[in-house]
Structure 1
Amino acid sequence: PIIVKAPDDAVLGTVLDRRFDVRRAALFDTSAAVAGVPNVTALPEPLGIAASVTRYAPGSVAVRLAAPAPKGSALIVSENYYPGWRATVGGKPAVTGRADYTLIGVQLPEGATAVDLTFTSPAYQKGKFITLIAIAVALIVAGVGFVAERRKVA
């Protein structure tokens, strides 16, 4: 689909409209760093390029396109967008943004045939580290209590 930038209220109303064809336009919020098509008067026909997911794991998605992407097109991944998502196309960084109100959108350079997405978030990593430390401390405290209780019995 082509890239169109619009405010959230317009995007939500559009994606909820049954007549909206998601194959023809990718609606990015106005704060996205993508280059939208200016002055859209009519939506183009759907591209007809098949996309297949070749890897899907926590924090990692790989998508392959059956044909090269034309200029000005986007890939919409049916996964909730969060600012920690990063994309590469052919090993080079690609622009991501929130598209169709809540999904991951990737601006595709002309000729793109593969997109790799990874999720990295400093806040998530910090929370994960704190959680692991808390679990380790809880296990140590429980272990010390268990050993002390066994010594009392013996």
Structure 2
Amino acid sequence: MEPTMNPDGASDSPAVTGAGAVLLVPRWKPAPPPEWGPAATVPGRRRRLSPKVVVAVAVPVVLLAVAGTVVAVTRPDLPRQKVLDTAALQRQVLTVLRTDYRLNADTVACPVDQPVVEGHRFTCTAEVDGTTVTTWVTVRSTGQLEVARPK
């Protein structure tokens, strides 16, 4: 076996003979094995995040922020405590005035957004026999209402 030659006629590598065979020994270093990713080839260099990763993280964060803003603007009452339903409150006071106190009550008007807090007290007005009267309403611990006799 003959050694291979360069185009200029020189031998590519020195020949080593042994046991009747010619072995070629390269004069250059073999290429290093391929590395995974560009950051692995340059020590001390930080890897850049892929645009896909940035989008995959940023989109849900932005959507949550937008949803939170929309809820905060459209439902500002959410963080507050529970309040009484005004229409139901007025019906209940009217029922108490008619059944418990046996008054000829026609209408009842109570303030809106009364909190459901034990001991909270407020007044409602009612029309009884053509006269406007005031009654106290107190919220009890069980969530029940105590309606006082009107004055």
Instruction: Tell me the TM-score normalised to structure 2 length.
Output: 0.23
Instruction: Tell me the TM-score normalised to structure 1 length.
Output: 0.23
Higher relative contact order (CA 8 A, sep 6+): 1
